[in-house]
């Protein structure tokens, strides 16, 4: 069995060597361990550091496309290179690489297809109270949308089996962490969580540029999660609130009208009519969104079957064990 450890990178030359030095070359249950670096359009010496530290495979984007796209590029590349299990970790050495066997163990034993590392959020000193609260809120939203019990959904330290990885498709450009767990829940991919350790902070988080920005993007991500993966519930709930509010206001007007006190309350009648109409239209949107979600699931199933039957190595991949020199492979985006 082949284990691929992938590291998405964007200008990580200062910390990548530390993260690579901690990675294992042997993991129980695997015949070979490959290191894969995804360079997301770095302008520093990230690629040179990767080559100097013995990285087996490097795939490069010609420009910065975001963490989620880099993650998916790594998944697709690892699958094309024959990976049986893929471990994703960060280039800033946030996660303790010694816990990789704990991540892969449930997959090797056939107990899970995706394993998420659960950080001790409450004990991480460099996490602000606001960030800790948002981490918990995001995890709660994922548990509701995915019907899983993952306590640390934003954790990027995870192991994914080949079958599960072939089914994943990320739509969000900001982060892949929440969306992939929800997809796992929808597609009945067995997902479990294991406790992991974290290392000292080497640099500030790239995702958290500022607390207001992090709050805004986290809220948008959570809303998009429900719109994409629970569209009927999302729109039906909104429609129900609007419809019931309009109904109550309408019943109030009707009561006053029947008791002879209807004069001067025409505004209530207008408001009730508007809310009832909006509620009914939102109900229709809920059914249309549900149909679109069903079509999306069918397209994802087609994509999965195509991936299984036709997985090719991207020409953007440089492998240390190939005869060609690194410069023989052009730096380009994955097709």
pLDDT at 248: 93
Question: What is the C-alpha to C-alpha distance for residues 115 and 95, in angstroms, rounded to an integer?
Answer: 14
Encode pLDDT of 243-274 as tens digits.
999 999 999 888 888 887 767 678 888 999 99
Report yes or no: 88 and 180 within 8 Å, Cβ to Cβ: no
When pLDDT is averaged across residues 30-55 and rounded to a whole number, the result is 93
pLDDT at 321: 45
Q: Name the residue with tokens 């290191």.
A: 35
Encode pLDDT of 159-171 as tens digits.
999 989 988 888 7
Maximum mean pLDDT: which of 67-81, 254-268, 310-324: 67-81
pLDDT at 182: 83
Of 333, 321, 334, the closest CA to residue 51 belongs to 321
Q: Is the pLDDT of residue 151 over 90?
A: no
pLDDT at 2: 94
Report yes or no: 190 and 112 within 8 Å, Cβ to Cβ: yes
Instruction: Please provide the average confidence, as pLDDT, over all residues in the chain.
Output: 82
Which is more confidently placed, 320 or 153? Answer: 153
Cβ-based neighbours of 137, under 8 Å, separated by 6 or more: 218, 222
pLDDT at 268: 86
pLDDT class of 326 with cuts at 50, 70, 90? very low
When pLDDT is averaged across residues 103-126 and rounded to a whole number, the result is 85
pLDDT at 331: 46
pLDDT at 308: 64
Q: Is the pLDDT of residue 33 over 60?
A: yes
Encode pLDDT of 178-219 as tens digits.
888 888 887 889 999 999 988 877 665 656 566 676 667 767
Cβ-based neighbours of 7, under 8 Å, separated by 6 or more: 16, 19, 20, 35, 36, 37, 38, 74, 88, 89, 90, 91
Encode pLDDT of 289-302 as tens digits.
999 888 877 887 78
pLDDT at 138: 72
pLDDT at 272: 92
- Give the burial string for 128-164 (b: 16+ CB within 10 Å, else e): eeebeebbbebbebbbebbebebbbbbbbbbbbbbeb
The beta strand positions in the chain, using DSSP E, are 2-9, 32-40, 57-61, 85-88, 114-118, 158-161, 191-195, 317-319
Least confident of 81-85, 88-92, 216-220, 246-250: 216-220
Largest CA distance in the chain: 93
Q: Is the pLDDT of residue 333 over 90?
A: no
How many beta carbons lie within 10 A of that of residue 55, not counting itself?
A: 22
Of 188, 160, 16, 166, the closest CA to residue 100 belongs to 160
When pLDDT is averaged across residues 40-47 and rounded to a whole number, the result is 90
Report yes or no: 161 and 138 within 8 Å, Cβ to Cβ: no
Which is more confidently placed, 333 or 115? Answer: 115
How deeply is 250 buried, as exposed, middle or buried, from its count of CB atoms within 10 A (0-12, 13-18, 19+)?
A: middle
Question: What is the C-alpha to C-alpha distance for residues 73 and 24, in angstroms, rounded to an integer?
Answer: 22
Q: Is the pLDDT of residue 59 over 90?
A: yes
Report yes or no: 153 and 143 within 8 Å, Cβ to Cβ: yes
C-alpha atoms less than 13 angstroms from C-alpha of 317 in its C-beta half-sphere: 23
pLDDT at 330: 37
Residue 328 is given by DSSP the state G
Which is more confidently placed, 303 or 165? Answer: 165
Q: Is the pLDDT of residue 24 over 80?
A: yes
pLDDT at 113: 94
């Amino acid at each position: 069995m082949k284990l691929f450890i992938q590291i998405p990178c964007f200008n990580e030359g200062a910390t990548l060597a530390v993260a690579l030095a901690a990675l294992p070359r042997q993991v129980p249950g695997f015949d070979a361990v490959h290191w894969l670096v995804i360079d997301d359009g770095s302008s520093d010496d990230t690629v040179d550091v990767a080559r100097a530290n013995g990285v087996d495979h490097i795939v490069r984007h010609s420009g910065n496309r975001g963490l989620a796209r880099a993650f998916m590029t790594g998944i697709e590349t690892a699958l094309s290179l024959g990976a049986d299990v893929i471990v994703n970790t960060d280039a800033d050495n946030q996660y303790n690489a010694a816990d990789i066997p704990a991540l892969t163990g449930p997959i090797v034993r056939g107990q899970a297809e995706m394993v998420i590392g659960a950080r001790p959020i409450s004990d991480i000193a460099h996490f602000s109270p606001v960030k800790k609260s948002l981490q918990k809120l995001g995890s709660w939203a994922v548990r509701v949308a995915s019907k899983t019990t993952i306590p640390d959904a934003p954790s990027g330290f995870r192991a994914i089996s080949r079958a599960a990885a072939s089914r994943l498709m990320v739509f969000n450009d900001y982060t892949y962490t929440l969306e992939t767990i929800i997809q796992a829940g929808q597609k009945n991919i067995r997902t479990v969580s294991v406790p992991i350790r974290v290392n000292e902070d080497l640099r500030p988080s790239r995702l958290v540029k500022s607390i207001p920005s992090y709050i805004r993007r986290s809220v948008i991500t959570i809303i998009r999660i429900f719109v994409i993966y629970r569209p009927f519930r999302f729109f039906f709930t909104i429609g129900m609130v609007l419809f019931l509010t309009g109904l109550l206001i309408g019943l109030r007007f009707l009561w006053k009208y029947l008791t002879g006190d209807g004069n001067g309350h025409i505004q209530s009648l207008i408001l009730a009519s508007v809310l009832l109409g909006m509620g009914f239209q939102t109900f229709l949107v809920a059914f249309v969104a549900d149909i679109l979600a069903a079509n999306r699931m069918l397209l994802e199933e087609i994509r999965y079957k195509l991936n299984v039957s036709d997985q090719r190595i991207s020409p953007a991949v440089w492998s240390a064990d190939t005869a060609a020199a690194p410069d023989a492979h052009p730096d380009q985006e994955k097709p």
